[in-house]
């Protein structure tokens, strides 16, 4: 299923250049960290920009960071945030100043787990990246992550996958007031559901 980028006219050309670049480079086995995930995060960020009435200049930087936050997966999942920051340099150097680039870099770094955002804009990227934890499509998207982790042999059994999900949800926290209000309750319900599922299963 293809996810459409909403509010396209608000995005600078660099975002479309990045999407085109990643479509040709991201491996097919990335069933979670895919173009769909990138667009999903960008759409959530667009909602945040509207909700918090963020000005156009900062909105542009948030949108660029959202589109580029998993760019590093073109090379490797290991330290992909820092790899992405290196990969994006050629796209940014002629159109943004040093402060703007550092702002984008900070937002990309804020998506690294465990998340430790230092600014409000970094909180937005961090929460948008894991927005699905508190949404109705959690099972669908998490299954994509499961398949991807299986490919990397990071998860070998259903029990490991269930334990990983429960542990992640227990240790995750949202940062923005919007996410705390609109995503936290569903995330907690999903965590309890997974715990109940584990009790019912015989491993």
Average of per-residue pLDDT across 9-22 = 96
pLDDT at 203: 60
At 128-137, the pLDDT tens digits run: 999 999 999 9
CA distance 19 to 2: 13
Domain parsing of the chain, residue ranges = 1-129, 132-203
Q: What is the pLDDT of residues 117-170, one digit of tens each?
A: 999 999 999 999 999 999 999 999 999 999 999 999 999 999 999 999 999 999
175-201 tens-digit pLDDT:
999 999 999 999 999 999 999 999 887
Dihedral Cα 85, 86, 89, 90, nearest 10 deg: -140
Both structure tokens of 196: 């109940």
Q: Under CATH, which number does the domain 1-129 receive?
A: 1.10.3210.10
**pTM for the complete prediction?**
0.96
3-class SS of residue 146: helix
> And the tokens for 157?
């059994």
């Amino acid at each position: 299923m293809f996810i459409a980028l909403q509010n396209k006219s608000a995005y600078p050309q660099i975002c479309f250049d990045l999407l085109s670049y990643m479509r040709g480079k991201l491996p097919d086995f990335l069933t979670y960290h895919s173009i769909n995930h990138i667009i999903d995060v960008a759409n959530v960020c667009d909602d945040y920009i509207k909700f918090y009435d963020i000005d156009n200049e900062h909105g542009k930087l948030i949108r660029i960071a959202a589109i580029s936050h998993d760019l590093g997966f073109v090379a490797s999942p290991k330290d992909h945030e820092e790899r992405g920051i290196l990969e994006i340099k050629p796209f940014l150097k002629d159109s943004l100043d040093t402060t703007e680039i550092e702002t984008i870099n900070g937002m990309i770094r804020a998506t690294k787990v465990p998340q430790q955002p230092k600014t409000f804009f970094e909180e937005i990227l961090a929460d948008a990246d894991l927005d699905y934890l508190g949404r109705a499509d959690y099972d669908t998207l998490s299954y994509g992550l499961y398949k991807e982790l299986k490919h990397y042999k990071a998860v070998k059994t259903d029990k490991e996958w269930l334990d990983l999900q429960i542990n992640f949800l227990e240790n995750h926290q949202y940062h923005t007031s919007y996410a705390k209000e609109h995503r936290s309750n569903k995330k907690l319900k999903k965590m309890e559901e997974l715990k109940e599922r584990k009790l019912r299963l015989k491993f």
